[in-house]
């Protein structure tokens, strides 16, 4: 079991806990606000963590985030590597608002999971690849 040191910057937000179903852990808005269509904001998630060496966190919207709030995470997925581990390295979710909405403190807006970092890689330049071409971009499912 991995142990993660965590600081909660808002004492009114429930402590994080692993749920029985699924592998992702919900994160909550630490502060609220009213947002207008077309706004961009970094939603404060109210936590700082020290991840174990060799691991990173992936942050993504919850499945209901767009339906409930009309927000899109601007970078599609957030990556927090274990060097972002200071007391004031507060996790945030960059959001674009597609409609007027209100986010309240404690609203569950995204989720994260801990993932092993990719092993070091090297690249070897070649003039052609030995596999058969699949048919180009967007080719799966074509007959």
Which pLDDT tens digit goes with each residue over 52-95?
Answer: 999 999 999 999 999 999 999 998 889 999 999 999 999 999 99
Cα within 13 Å of Cα(99), Cβ side: 7
Residue 91's pLDDT is 98
Q: Which residues are marked as active site?
A: 81
Judge whether 111 and 26 are in contact, CB under 8 Å. Answer: yes
Report how far residue 61's alpha carbon sits from residue 95's, in angstroms, rounded to the nearest whole number: 10
Residue 142's pLDDT is 60
pTM of the model: 0.85
DSSP for residue 65: H
Question: Which tokens go with 13?
Answer: 């937000």
Instruction: Give 12-56 as a DSSP string.
Output: TSPPP---SSSS-EEEE-SS-EEE-TT-EEEEE--EEEEPPTTEE
């Amino acid at each position: 079991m991995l142990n993660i040191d965590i600081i909660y910057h808002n004492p009114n937000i429930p402590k994080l806990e692993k749920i029985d179903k699924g592998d992702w852990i919900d994160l909550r808005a630490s502060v609220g606000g009213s947002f207008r269509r077309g706004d961009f904001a970094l939603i404060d998630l109210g936590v700082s963590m020290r991840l174990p060496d060799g691991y990173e966190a992936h942050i993504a919207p919850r499945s209901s985030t767009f339906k409930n709030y009309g927000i899109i995470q601007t970078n599609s997925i957030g990556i927090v590597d274990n060097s972002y581990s200071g007391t004031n390295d507060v996790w945030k979710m960059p959001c674009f608002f597609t409609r007027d909405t209100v986010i309240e403190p404690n609203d569950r807006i995204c989720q994260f999971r801990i993932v092993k970092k990719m092993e070091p890689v090297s690249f070897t330049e070649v003039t052609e690849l030995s596999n058969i071409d699949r048919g180009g971009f967007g080719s799966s499912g074509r007959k």
